[in-house]
Amino acid sequence: MSTGMDDLPEEMLAHVVRRLPPRSLAVCRSVCKNWRAVVDARRLLHAVAHLVPRSLRGIFINHIGKETHSFFSRGASPSRVDHALSFLPRRRMCHTSRVLDHRNGLLIYQNGTNLFVCNPATRRCAALPPPPTPTDQRFYRHRLYLMFDPTVSLHYDVLYFPEVPEKPKPYPERRNGRSAILIRYSYDNLPPPVREAYERDVNRVGSMEWPPLSYGVQVYSSRTGQWEETRFIRQGDSSAALTVSDVWSDPPAPSSNHDILRCHAVCWRGAFYVHCRGGFVMRFSLLEEKYEVIKTPRLDISARSRTDDEHEKPIKHLGKSKHGVYYTSIHDYHLRVWILRQVSERSCQMPEWELKYQHDLKPSFLHHQRKAEVDRSWILDPVEDQQNNEWDSDEDSMADAEGETDNRGSTFSYSGVDFLGCHPYKEIIFLGNRFRGYAYYLGSSKLEYLGSLSPSGLGCFPLMTPTLESFIYTPCMDDLLYDQNNPS
């Protein structure tokens, strides 16, 4: 039976729903395909996006060798944002305390074997039980992703994505008390039947399609407080899928000379995008229980300008900024940025990547490395203060991309660039180099020095491996989490 609203012309329906607040408007978008088309075609959610709290307050950073996380922000920390997460039930942070993911003001935080979903702005949190039977007890936490959109609902979901099947081994991990690495050296001496069986296993597993047509994901819902498996069915061109062997051949990209364990994810217009090893992005619709495979841009790095570059693979990052979903690559100081251009839902055409920026970062970094940085606007692990510390990029000075040279004869050795994240609504990216934090303005090719990223408590780790993971923090003052200081 018609509700009456369904009979309205599209323009009149758009005129009605555009008067709704952001959360109600997002709910209308999920009613049916026709309403969603009306909202998306007129970019109604984009038009009210400025009403959603999304100020940039800082960057959570997991440093290599540091026992707990750090927080990099402009000036002292606002009093209402507890970046140290001191409100968590266990006050003393364990050796493995770190931020695992962030989405619109909420964090997944690991403290030893305990997991929490928490809000530094409201100082509330909830315990997160581990997913059922994780396949890898050591690294499963790096495949946990938070889904939270306060414009739609104050409830959140946590997604646990299964890892690609492991490559078969022709030998046990340990045999006769010897370690596996000793046995690997004798692989060439394995009997032919053992070697043939191993190759058959590799071909069998490696030829499997990945991701599979029906992709099982464990989903934790704050509504139910339980983990449940959801099967997502692949849509679109089947040629976009790869094989398990393709993923094996694509090891994780380096981050500060260490393999990064996490691939980043983006929530945009009701869809959830996850960057995956193998050169593709998975776009999930939790409402329809469907997903699509979008191949990432091809990176031509055959022409190497330097022979002493210790990073064999480019640093790749999936993020969200002013125009939606961004894909960034940095290799040998060459920066390239693509934007995912959406198409109409009524079209069968897949989204396409548009290359928007190409910059050589080396002159800018050379300029900064040849001068002593004195002015800084950002501080690592700041002390609490009462002032408003939202970062306004227009207030700070910038350095020309062309850089400068001096007569001191200084040399510049490459020690890697860390990609810290994208500004949520301005075309600015945050970079790290030699324990220094920078903001790079894509439109004007300007590099701004923000402050030192050098933390205390790194032990014996060298000063050339600053960060492992980083998360742009945008506070949210509304949630349904548990208040530790007010049990009632």
Q: Is 276 exposed, middle or buried (0-12, 13-18, 19+ CB in 10 A)?
A: buried
Same domain, 73 and 10: no
Same domain, 143 and 27: no
Same domain, 475 and 354: yes
Same domain, 243 and 338: yes
Tell me whether residue 456 is in a domain.
yes
Per-residue DSSP letter, 49: G
Q: Do residues 40 and 70 make contact, with C-beta atoms less than 8 angstroms apart?
A: no
Per-residue model confidence as pLDDT tens digits over 241-260: 789 999 888 866 554 434 45
Residue 53 sits at the vertex; the CA angle it makes with 35 and 118, to the nearest 5 degrees, is 105
Choose among 391, 357, 364: nearest CA to 376: 391
Tell me whether residue 192 is in a domain.
no
Pairing of strands 324-331, 334-341: antiparallel
Q: Is 137 exposed, middle or buried (0-12, 13-18, 19+ CB in 10 A)?
A: exposed
Rounded Cα distance between 95 and 112, Å, is 7
Same domain, 446 and 304: yes
Rounded Cα distance between 99 and 147, Å, is 15
Give the bridge partners for 346, in sequence order. Answer: none
Tell me whether residue 190 is in a domain.
no
For the chain, give the mean pLDDT. 77
Domain count, the chain: 2
CATH number for the domain harbouring residue 312: 2.130.10
Question: Which three-class secondary structure state does DSSP give residue 422?
Answer: strand
* Range in 39-43, 224-228, 295-299, 345-349 the model is least confident about: 345-349
* pLDDT top residue among 352 and 350: 352
Per-residue model confidence as pLDDT tens digits over 65-120: 788 899 999 876 555 789 999 998 865 555 678 899 999 999 999 888 889 999 99
Q: Do residues 417 and 361 make contact, with C-beta atoms less than 8 angstroms apart?
A: yes
Per-residue model confidence as pLDDT tens digits over 18-44: 667 666 766 676 677 777 777 776 666
In this structure, what are the phi and psi dihedrals at residue 45, rounded to the nearest 5 degrees?
-65, -35
Residue 81 sits at the vertex; the CA angle it makes with 80 and 82, to the nearest 5 degrees, is 115
Helix axis angle for 22-29 and 33-41, nearest 10°, is 130
pLDDT at 47: 56
Model confidence band, residue 458 (pLDDT cutoffs 50, 70, 90): low
Same domain, 40 and 107: no
Q: With a threshold of 0.75, does the pTM exceed it?
A: yes
Rounded Cα distance between 144 and 101, Å, is 8
Same domain, 296 and 374: yes
Same domain, 39 and 139: no
pLDDT at 127 over 80: yes
Per-residue DSSP letter, 200: H
Instruction: Give the containing element (helix H, strand E) for 324.
Output: strand 324-331
Same domain, 41 and 56: no
In this structure, what are the phi and psi dihedrals at residue 29, rounded to the nearest 5 degrees?
-60, -30
pLDDT at 154: 85
Question: Which three-class secondary structure state does DSSP give residue 443?
Answer: coil
Same domain, 299 and 391: yes
Tell me which residue range forms the domain holding 17: 5-47
pLDDT at 111: 86
Rounded Cα distance between 8 and 471, Å, is 43
Same domain, 28 and 161: no
Same domain, 20 and 160: no
